[in-house]
Structure formats: C-alpha cells, structure tokens
Structure 1
C-alpha cells in the first residue's frame, strides 16, 4: 500500500468528535492532542508515523508559528507533509507570558495542520440548517480523496456531482465535506 493509500485510509477512518466545551464561547471543539490520540492506533496498524514540527516565520511586523505535519511510511520511507500557520498576537492576552503566547499559537497551528492532513473539518456541519456555503473550492487533497473513493467504490461521480449540484466538476469546500461524510456513512468506515 502506498503512502497516499495509507493517508486515504486514515482520512476515511479517523473519528475525532468535538468533545471539549469552551464555557466562555459556549462551543464544542477538538484539540491537537485529541487528534493525535485518535491517530495512534491507525499509525500502528498502517505502519506509519506522524511527525509534527514548528518554526517561527516573520511576515512584516507579524510573527507566525508554522506547524508542519509529516506522515512517514515506515515500510519505504516515503512521506507526505502539510503545514498551517497561526499568528502570535502583537500583545499577549491577559495572564499569559510570552512563552504561553507562543505555545498557544503552536497548538492552534498544529491542530489545523493535523486537520488539513486528515481532512477534519472545523466548519459548520454541512448538514446543519445554519450552514452557508461560501463557494470556496475544495482543497486538492479533498478532491483527490473524493476521486479515489469514487473509483474504489465504483461510484458514478458525474451522477453524484449532479445530485449535489456541483458546478464545473469541482465541489466547494462545503460540498466536498458533505460528499466525504456521505462516503464515510455509506461504506461503513469507522
């Protein structure tokens, strides 16, 4: 199995519910630690390792923490990487020292790099009545995963795209999330 096939397996099987609650903002969320915990059994089973690293990037007067997530195939050494940025605030939040501010930006960047790699969507649930489609096209990774799953499960993509009102053969990010959720439910992946 190639590294891309292993990644697809992980993307379709991982489940990381938003089980934490922010009392101040009254919303549910998942943390980077929650994602990493859910990945460990899949890493062992598929013989891959997830590596995360951070570095600081200056853009003008702003400092960003760039988190890079790499998926490494332990059988042949191939790897796939993605990254995400989080900006350190110009002024630390009350009761936070400089190291806590950097740590907070690192956690945020790591969470979104992991979410990007494993297609964990933090937007409003596409099935929600409150969902509003921004029209932003899906990521290349989402599009590739949809195509791979359609081929693997013999799904008529043209028909599916017509049902989901996909225009120009490229789903929006919201449509892609909905299609991937449908695949997860229909094909019985964990």
Structure 2
C-alpha cells in the first residue's frame, strides 16, 4: 500500500526544528544558539514527505547596496508554496584584534547566501523563534550599520520590485507567453525582467 503523503500544514508542523546548542562566534566573545539552512534541508530530507524542495538565489543592487534574494519553493503534484528571504552582501567581517578578514570572499558569499536561504526556509515552513544574527554581530564587524530609515527604504524597494514582477508575469501568462520565455524571465533580475516583459507584451500587441 502506498504511503499517505503529508498535507502542507502537516509538513509545516513536522518542520518545527529547534536550534543547535550554544556556540561561540568568530571572535570567541559571544555565545548563541543557532539554526542554519543546512539543518533545515537535512530535516526536510529525513521526513520523506512526498514534497519537493527547491531553493534559488538572485542578486539585487538597491540604493547602492547588494542583496542576496533567496526563494524557497516546496511543491507536490497538486500544490506549490513559496517564500523569500534576503541578506545583505556587505564587506567581509574583520577580526577586531588582528584586523584580518574572518574568511575568504567566496566563503563569505556562501555564508550570506546560506543566511538568506535560512530565512526563506523559515518563512516557508513557518519555523518560529528569531535567530541571533551571528553574521552581523557587533563583535564581528565594525562596519557602520545602516539606519532603520535606509533599511525600510530597501525593504520597500524590494517589495515594490517583487510586486511589479508578479504583476508583469501574470500579464505575460494572460497573453499566452511561451513557457520557455516565462522560465527565462523567472531566472532574470526582476527589474530587468519587468522591462523585458513590458517590451514583449507591447511587441505582441503590435504584431496581432
């Protein structure tokens, strides 16, 4: 007899994993409990839930700052659910005492991506309890923090771009855009994709 597959709400309940034990940060000064994207992946795979999980990244430059946008999508034969997480790709953290970088640039890029993916996954599976931001601890990086006003502006800009992209993509689907073209737009930077979709719709209307 075939095993009964989980509903999405059941999957969310099963994904409520705790944090690992307290560890010290890179400076050795601050202890924190943590949960990362890799732990969430491993727990998901252990469930054999009947769902498929895909996480992808895109880069966005907004107000002169670079962000990683991670999109987590879980699907089965009849449903699909998506959540997005963001993390700023700032300078590599510096040890206060030695003044040396805490990791190489490729490692830092991977850490920023993992951080964005963690929040996308936590949003997707409604995993509760906020995490300590170990990547941006005051003990790790003496780079001046952006103001709350700047953060709100960046968040508003990201939300605006996402909304514009979703509207443009729906309009293209209504105009019966080819599936390969829809897929290509989904892989592009969203700001550029909105422009390309608008141009395609305009050309499509002219050619009719």
Say which one has the larger Rg.
Answer: 2
Q: Which residue, out of 39, 42, 54, partners 1:37?
A: 42
Segments of 5+ residues of structure 1 without an aligned counterpart are: 125-190
Residue 11 of structure 2 aligns to a residue in which SS?
helix
TM superposition shift of 1:122 = 2.9
What is the TM-score with the length of structure 1 in the denominator? 0.55
> For the Cα contact (< 8 Å) 2:16–2:128, is it kept in 1?
no
> For the Cα contact (< 8 Å) 1:15–1:38, is it kept in 2?
no
Q: Which residue, out of 114, 118, 129, partners 1:107?
A: 114
Structure 1 segments of 4 or more deviating over 6 A?
none
Q: What per-residue deviation string (whole Å, max 9, x for no partner) do you get for residues 147-167 of structure 1?
A: xxxxxxxxxxxxxxxxxxxxx
Q: Distance in 2 between matches of 1:56 and 1:22?
A: 30
**2:121 pairs with 1:119:** no
What is the TM-score with the length of structure 2 in the denominator? 0.51
What does residue range 1-190 of structure 1 map to in structure 2 within 5 Å?
6-24=7-25, 25-42=30-47, 44-45=48-49, 47-73=50-76, 75-76=77-78, 78-89=79-90, 91-93=91-93, 94-123=101-130
TM superposition shift of 1:120 = 1.0
> For the Cα contact (< 8 Å) 1:65–1:109, is it kept in 2?
yes
